[in-house]
Chain A
Amino acid sequence: MTKSRVVKQLKNLNKVVYTTKLPQIVIDRTKYEAMKLTFQRQNTNGHMGARKFWHDYLPTLQYYNPDFRIELLRIFNSKKNVDVPCILEMLDTQGQAVETIDMKGKQSAEIMQELLKTIDHTQVPKDQIVELGNKD
């Protein structure tokens, strides 16, 4: 029992630092100060991909960019009668949006690919990528 608990825990931790490969990048901080995501709390109208993108990729992105500010604005639309924007904005030092990505109706991996194409970044060097549980 003990073993499985540790294995499960390491898997969860490694998901943040190691196994999620796409967001293992260092964002160019001279161009971008922060990232701002705006989407709906509900999954309807094609907002599910944005939510999944947040859960699957943003922790790793934040881990390899610890000082990079990531803001989230999740809007309640329980009656589903308002057209809520579903966008990702890269903000510069003035707080102005430099790049904007429309996330509506896209899957999380597609959004990540598009982000990689759009923004200036460098890959995290291999020796700086952390893997947990490889002590012995």
Chain B
Amino acid sequence: MLANHWRPVLLRMPLRALHTRFGPLAQEAVTGAAVAAAPAQPKLTKEQLRRRELRKMIRSKMLAKRPASQDKVYLSVPEAMRILRAVEVGQPTSQQTITLTTMVVSEKGVPPLHGDVVLPTPLKPVRIAAFSADPELLKRLQEEVELEIVGGAELIDQLKSGEVPVQFDKAFATPDIAPQLNSKLGALLGRRGLLPNIKKGTVGPDLLAMIRSKVGAMPFRQRAANLAFGIAKCHFSDRQVLGNLIAAREAFQLAIQNQKSKKRSILGRSTLSSTHGPGIVIDLA
């Protein structure tokens, strides 16, 4: 039997459709009431999904607020470092990096956390390059800070031709030379994330102030629900590791404060892990 609400549809259909064995009409004719009830199902699932999401969020918020010491694999930082150093025994020094991973609990639509962290003990020394058309300015700058490479238009050409290899981790430039950098070295430096630009705060008239604020600063960004980056090396002392962790915590808190959203993210469980080792929960709060 056809349900009553199908009647107007039926009347509007060309006659051929009635004889078909396929399509909604044919199914309606065969299964009757069971199919008529079917359209209500997706609505329910959506509701269920929403509730499930909500429950999940409440649970993860609760877990994030729980003190780290209640976790089964929680250890204090010196103890965790002792295990990680033991696990990394015999591995090449370059591979013995300790990584900090912090879970972030945030509602849908909240922008990801990002910021800069200045580690008191950086993992490797930062090599700086400075570009300017004014040689005197560079000379004065070199007296103030240690620079790997400095120069103007000549240096740009040398870098482009490959005469001078790209051996620096940060580059700064004055506005007078920035367009030249963009056009000639855009592909070379841009790919490595070294190209100075105003948005990053690496192009400006006062090179010294920019270098002071940016060098040693390591950018971090939330990926999925995690903040993760290398925080130390295995050969660092416990004091150095703790110093870096404190700096990271302050940077995270600043990133949360700067978040442009009504509902701010919460930091969850933090783990220390090494390249070949296990992850150990530590107390970062």
Contacts and interface: CB of A to CB of B under 8 A. Distances in A.
A133 interface: yes
Interface stretch (A12-20, A26-34, A113-121): A12-20
B125 interface: no
Contacts of B23: none
Given A9-B278, A13-B278, A62 B72 contact: no
B86 interface: yes
Contact of B90 (A12, A60, A72): A72
Most-contacted residue by chain B among A6, A13, A17, A71 (CB, 10 A): A13
A6 B73 CA distance: 7
A132 B279 CA distance: 14
Contacts of B86: 16, 59-60, 62-63, 66
Given A37-B90, A70-B89, A13 B83 contact: yes
B280 A66 contact: no
Given A54-B90, A72-B90, A63 B73 contact: no
Interface string B73-94: 1010000001101110110000
B272 to A, nearest CB: 12
B73 A62 contact: no
A108 to B, nearest CB: 14
Contacts of A10: 72-73
Interface string A60-77: 111100100011100000
Given A9-B278, A9-B279, A70 B73 contact: no
Interface residues of B, number: 13
Interface in B159-211: none
A58 interface: yes
Q: How large is the interface on A (under 10, 10 to 19, 20 to 34, 35 or more residues)?
A: 20 to 34
Interface in A1-48: 6, 9-10, 12-13, 16-17, 37
A58 B72 contact: no
Contacts of A59: 86-87, 89
Given A9-B73, A133-B72, A135-B72, A58 B280 contact: no
A60 B89 CA distance: 10
Contact of B85 (A9, A17, A62, A132): A62
Contact of A63 (B75, B82, B90, B279): B82
B72 A13 contact: no
Contacts of A9: 72-73, 278-279
Interface in B246-284: 278-280
Interface string B54-78: 0000000000000000001101000
A6 B72 contact: yes
Contact of B73 (A16, A60, A61, A132): A132
Contacts of B87: 16, 59
B16 to A, nearest CB: 54
Nearest to B63: A2
16 contacts: A6-B72, A9-B278, A10-B72, A10-B73, A13-B73, A13-B83, A17-B83, A54-B89, A58-B89, A58-B90, A62-B85, A62-B86, A62-B89, A63-B82, A66-B82, A71-B90
Interface of B: 72-73, 75, 82-83, 85-87, 89-90, 278-280
* Minimum-distance CB pairs A-B, first 7: A72-B90, A63-B86, A62-B86, A62-B89, A59-B86, A6-B72, A58-B89
